[in-house]
């Protein structure tokens, strides 16, 4: 039975392979927080890979047995939450991080519900639907990360800001990955947005000029949620705020590049260079040092959708 150190090492390898952006930002945490962030990431990554037939987020394709894969996620997650040894490093990673924090189990199951939506072939009809989906696959993870960083689970206001950051990340992902999703038979763009733009939901890539306008709506919303999320950083330690602000800056660049490229956004995958990431590490350190003044009076948007309590 692998010990904690071995599972943490495996989790660190997982985040290094699956997300160079998150891996870079995680290095800014203090060691206990960094290790728990890796453990949480490993579970999220494994669930995503199992659901989508991927390898560390790469090579997504339609799977033949989505219900069976969802059931496997549920069974292994339940075992981890019960404190049982699972025998799968990623799910044992969840067991460890839940045991070491005050992690509410409902947040874990909220994330699993996102995989259930995909398994059922769910699609958003409105912006509120889209945000609900983004909550399940990323906003709830943001809340879990806040708990990992020491935020009390009952501090709903700060968890709301953590959720905002997860929404911003997922909206950027959706805008960047429209082509990959379409190839796998998926479309996360709200049907009413597509109808307004004159785009067929089953053929979103046919008119990239129209699609670029819809993607711009996503990236604009991502920027708004990213700005709103920063209001929660004064509640974090300096190093946690530094990591969060670095990740927000890096993912913000992804959204900005999608918007700037317009119809060419999907010709090649949008990424942030190593130099760009280093730049955000430096800038976010300054932002974190000054966070209590800089983010004290962030205006919150009117609510289109509200995080479940």
Buried b (16+ CB within 10 A) or exposed e, 144-161: bbbbbbebebeeeebbbb
Contact status, residue 47 vs residue 80, Cβ threshold 8 Å? no
Given a contact cutoff of 8 angstroms between Cβ atoms, the answer to whether 252 and 226 are in contact is: yes
Enumerate the CATH 1.10.600.10 domain ranges in the chain, comma separated. Answer: 1-105, 123-309
Per-residue pLDDT tens digits of the chain, which is 309 residues long: 678 899 999 999 999 888 888 888 889 999 999 999 999 999 999 999 998 776 654 455 667 788 999 999 999 999 999 999 999 999 999 999 999 998 999 999 999 999 999 999 899 999 999 999 999 999 999 999 999 999 999 999 999 999 999 999 999 999 999 999 898 888 999 999 999 999 998 899 999 999 999 999 999 999 999 999 999 999 999 999 999 999 999 999 999 999 999 999 999 999 999 999 999 999 999 999 999 999 988 888 888 889 988
Sign of the torsion angle spanned by Cα atoms 284, 289, 294, 298: positive
CA 286 from chain center: how many Å?
24
Whole-Å CA distances, 71 to 67, 78, 98: 6, 10, 21
131 vs 276: CA distance, rounded Å: 28
Collapsing DSSP to helix, strand or coil, 113 comes out as helix
Do 135 and 171 contact (CB within 8 A), yes or no?
no
CA–CA separation, 139 vs 133, rounded Å? 9
Q: Which fold has domain 1-105?
A: Farnesyl Diphosphate Synthase (1.10.600)
**Does the reported pTM lie above 0.85?**
yes
Domain 123-309 fold: Farnesyl Diphosphate Synthase (1.10.600)
- Give CA–CA dist 199/210, Å, rounded: 7
Whole-number Cα distances in Å, 227 to 189, 213, 259, 278: 22, 21, 17, 20
């Amino acid at each position: 039975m692998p010990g904690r150190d071995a599972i943490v090492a495996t989790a660190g390898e997982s985040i290094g392979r699956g997300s160079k952006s998150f891996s870079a930002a995680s290095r800014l945490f203090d060691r206990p927080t960094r290790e728990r962030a890796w453990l949480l990431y490993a579970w999220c990554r494994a669930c995503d890979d199992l659901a989508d037939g991927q390898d560390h987020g790469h090579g997504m394709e339609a799977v033949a047995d989505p219900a069976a894969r969802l059931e496997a996620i549920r069974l292994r997650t339940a075992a981890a939450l019960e404190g049982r040894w699972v025998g799968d490093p990623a799910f044992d990673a969840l067991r460890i991080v839940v045991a070491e924090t005050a992690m509410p189990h409902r947040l874990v199951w909220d994330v699993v519900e996102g995989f259930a939506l995909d398994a059922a072939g769910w699609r958003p009809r409105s912006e509120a639907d889209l945000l609900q989906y983004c909550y399940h696959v990323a906003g709830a993870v943001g809340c879990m990360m806040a708990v990992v960083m020491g935020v009390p689970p009952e501090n709903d206001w700060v968890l709301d800001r953590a959720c905002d950051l997860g929404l911003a990340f997922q909206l950027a992902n959706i805008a960047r990955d429209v082509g990959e999703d379409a190839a796998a038979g998926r479309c996360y763009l709200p049907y009413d947005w597509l109808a307004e733009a004159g785009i067929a939901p089953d053929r979103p890539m046919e008119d990239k000029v129209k699609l670029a306008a819809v993607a711009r709506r996503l990236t604009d919303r991502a920027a708004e949620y990213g700005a709103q999320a920063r209001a929660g950083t004064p509640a974090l330690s300096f190093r946690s705020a530094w990591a969060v602000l670095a990740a927000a800056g890096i993912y913000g660049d992804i959204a900005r590049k999608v918007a700037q490229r317009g119809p060419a956004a999907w010709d090649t995958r949008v990424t942030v260079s190593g130099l760009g990431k280093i730049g955000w590490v430096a800038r976010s350190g300054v932002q974190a040092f000054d966070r209590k003044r800089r983010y004290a009076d962030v205006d919150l948007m009117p609510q289109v959708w509200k995080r479940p309590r």
